[in-house]
């Protein structure tokens, strides 16, 4: 390739980057007293924030994509108080520049959530309702939560804080950071699992549970009051908190576990 061709190619790339397309999409749904929100995507993260009111609002913002059937396809429908939103990104084999896709949703705090993305983060703030969150590849972060939570990712960290009635967290590759508020109660078993990563859980002293904590390759540190059952080792801890209760299992295949009083 001669010098003139190289300069032309550089100019083409610079021009392409500087003129990346931008697009956006907005929608508002009016809902009643028992709202539900379901989200699906093959390649987009989502941020969900609780807000007062009787509406759900979604805003999708892109850079480098167009919102249409051939690029980023958005499908929405409503059935009573249930809203379903899908964001599908067409495959792109050759991409130049900084491409961006953001999905932001605000909704009432008592909205039941079902979120599933193949590739992207999930962030949830202020929800007080049952939530099931699944990412194939991306972090999951839940703050100021109240209720039953299931959160799973194939690859990424999980961070959660709030008051929990049910808790099931798992990641294939990433650490888990958990902050359990006072008032949380095990109505049945809780499960915290990472295949490869550390776990740090802050636990209120009044929680009643049967603890089963182990790591395949790491150590366990704990400063919570536990009545030990069986033998104690650096990689296994079994015992009861406050007389016991449903099973609270914490496991990592490769990483340390730290349990501390909240």
> 234 or 199, which is more confident?
199
Q: What is the mean pLDDT of residues 60-71?
A: 93
What are 80-100's pLDDT values in tens digits? 999 999 999 998 744 556 789
Say what the pLDDT of residue 165 is: 96
Mean pLDDT of the residues in the chain: 91
For 177, the enclosing helix (H) or strand (E) is strand 176-180
Residue 68, C-beta contacts closer than 8 angstroms, at least 6 positions apart: none
**62, β-bridge pairs:** 23, 101
Percent of the chain whose pLDDT exceeds 90:
83
Q: What is the mean pLDDT of residues 108-118?
A: 98
Percent of the chain whose pLDDT exceeds 70:
90
pLDDT band at residue 1 under the 50/70/90 scheme: low
Query: Which of helix, strand or coil describes residue 112?
Result: strand
Q: Cβ–Cβ contacts within 10 Å for residue 4, how many? A: 8
Nearest to 138 by CA among 117, 159, 124: 117
* Domain ranges across the chain: 22-107, 139-262
* Range with lowest mean pLDDT among 16-20, 122-126, 150-154: 16-20
pTM of the model: 0.90
What's the DSSP call for residue 9? H
What are 22-36's pLDDT values in tens digits? 899 999 999 999 999
């Amino acid at each position: 390739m001669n010098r003139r061709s190289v300069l032309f190619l550089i100019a083409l790339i610079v021009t392409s980057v500087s003129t990346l397309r931008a697009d956006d999409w907005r929608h508002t749904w009016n809902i009643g007293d028992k709202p539900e929100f379901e989200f699906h995507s093959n390649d987009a993260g989502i941020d969900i924030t609780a807000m007062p009111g009787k509406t759900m609002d979604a805003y999708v913002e892109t850079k480098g994509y167009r919102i249409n059937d051939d690029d980023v396809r958005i499908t929405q429908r409503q059935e009573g108080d249930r809203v379903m939103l899908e964001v599908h990104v067409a495959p792109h084999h050759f991409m130049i520049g900084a491409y961006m896709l953001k999905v932001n949703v605000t909704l009432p705090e008592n909205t039941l959530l079902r979120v599933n993305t193949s590739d992207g983060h999930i962030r949830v703030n202020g929800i007080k309702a049952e939530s099931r969150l699944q990412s194939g590849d991306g972090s999951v972060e839940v703050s100021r939560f109240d209720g039953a939570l299931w959160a799973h990712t194939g690859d990424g960290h999980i961070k959660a804080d709030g008051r929990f009635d049910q808790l099931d967290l798992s990641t294939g590759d990433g650490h888990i950071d958990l902050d359990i508020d006072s008032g949380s109660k095990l109505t049945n078993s809780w499960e915290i699992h990472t295949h490869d990563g550390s776990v740090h859980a802050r636990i209120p002293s009044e929680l009643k549970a049967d603890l089963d904590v182990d790591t395949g390759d790491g150590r366990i540190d704990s400063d919570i009051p536990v009545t030990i059952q069986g033998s104690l080792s650096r990689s296994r801890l079994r015992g009861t908190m406050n007389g016991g209760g449903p099973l609270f299992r914490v496991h990592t295949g490769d990483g340390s576990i730290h349990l501390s009083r909240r």
